Amino acid sequence: MATPHNAASKGDLAKVVLMPGDPLRAQYVVEHYLSDVRLVNEVRNMFGFTGLYDGVEISVMGSGMGIPSIGIYSWELFTEYDVDAIIRIGSAGGLAPQVKLRDVIIGQGACTDSNYVAKTMGVPGTYAPIASFDLVRDAVDAAEELGASYHVGNLLSTDVFYSAPGVNEAWAAAGVLAAEMEAAGLYANAMRAGKKALGIMTVSDLPLTGEGLPASERQTSFTQMMEIALKVAVKHAAPAL
């Protein structure tokens, strides 16, 4: 059943979806890691693909930038397409002093300056969106197996890319590892829908020092993050018939 944002039919999407913000990163994943790939969505050029990885059906679909965008796509995947788990694979700006360029961040929780989570959950207090523990555990195992330089902890999912002076320093002082723009919305949707979610990010820049990677590398070079996510996905998806 198609939605206003997704032309896929029921059954076109696998039980586990990898979700990069950039649809070109989705295309990179399927071209380099999946076989028997079919395009299942291209509405608004937000490409969605389904294929096989180690004999297991996996889908990859872009989310766009920001919590409102991933909020729409992930909610429809969870509620209209029977997706069980979404793993965000994206870039993040490292804030903690121990975080370096190209390190992998496994988002155990996600702070936010967005109103999305509070409006979505409707609880009389401050809601703390967190990742699914079994996905976190499996991501750590996969990172260890691949020898990745990784960190597990809190993210900042912010609505503001160009922050005011002092904002990033404040979040870093609060123990946040890295800033990105989607995980808190994804985690809240998963918890509300009774599904699973995890954000795995590669550090593309260090806002407090001014270091960064070019856009071309953000699209194509974050292979360890992708491989970690695929290993987690295989453990939580059904083998293809």
Whether 118 shows a pLDDT value over 80: the answer reads yes
Residue 11 is predicted with a pLDDT of: 93
Whether 15 shows a pLDDT value over 90: the answer reads yes
Residue 130 is predicted with a pLDDT of: 98
Task: Based on the residue annotation, tell me whether 205 is a catalytic residue of this protein.
Answer: yes
Domains in the chain: ranges and CATH:
16-236 (3.40.50.1580)
Q: How many CB atoms lie within 10 A of CB 133?
A: 11
63 phi/psi in degrees, rounded to 5? -115, -15
pLDDT-derived band of residue 216, with 50, 70 and 90 as boundaries? confident
Residue 241 is predicted with a pLDDT of: 53
Lowest mean pLDDT among 22-31, 104-113, 197-206: 22-31
Q: Which two tokens stand for residue 109?
A: 């929780």
Q: Which two tokens stand for residue 40?
A: 């299942």
DSSP states of 162-198: SPPTTHHHHHHHTT--EEESSHHHHHHHHHHHT-EEE
CA distances from 153 to 11, 18, 100, 111 (A): 34, 20, 15, 11
Quick: pLDDT tens for 55-94.
999 999 999 999 999 999 999 999 999 999 999 999 999 9
Residue 215 is predicted with a pLDDT of: 77
Whether 197 shows a pLDDT value over 90: the answer reads yes
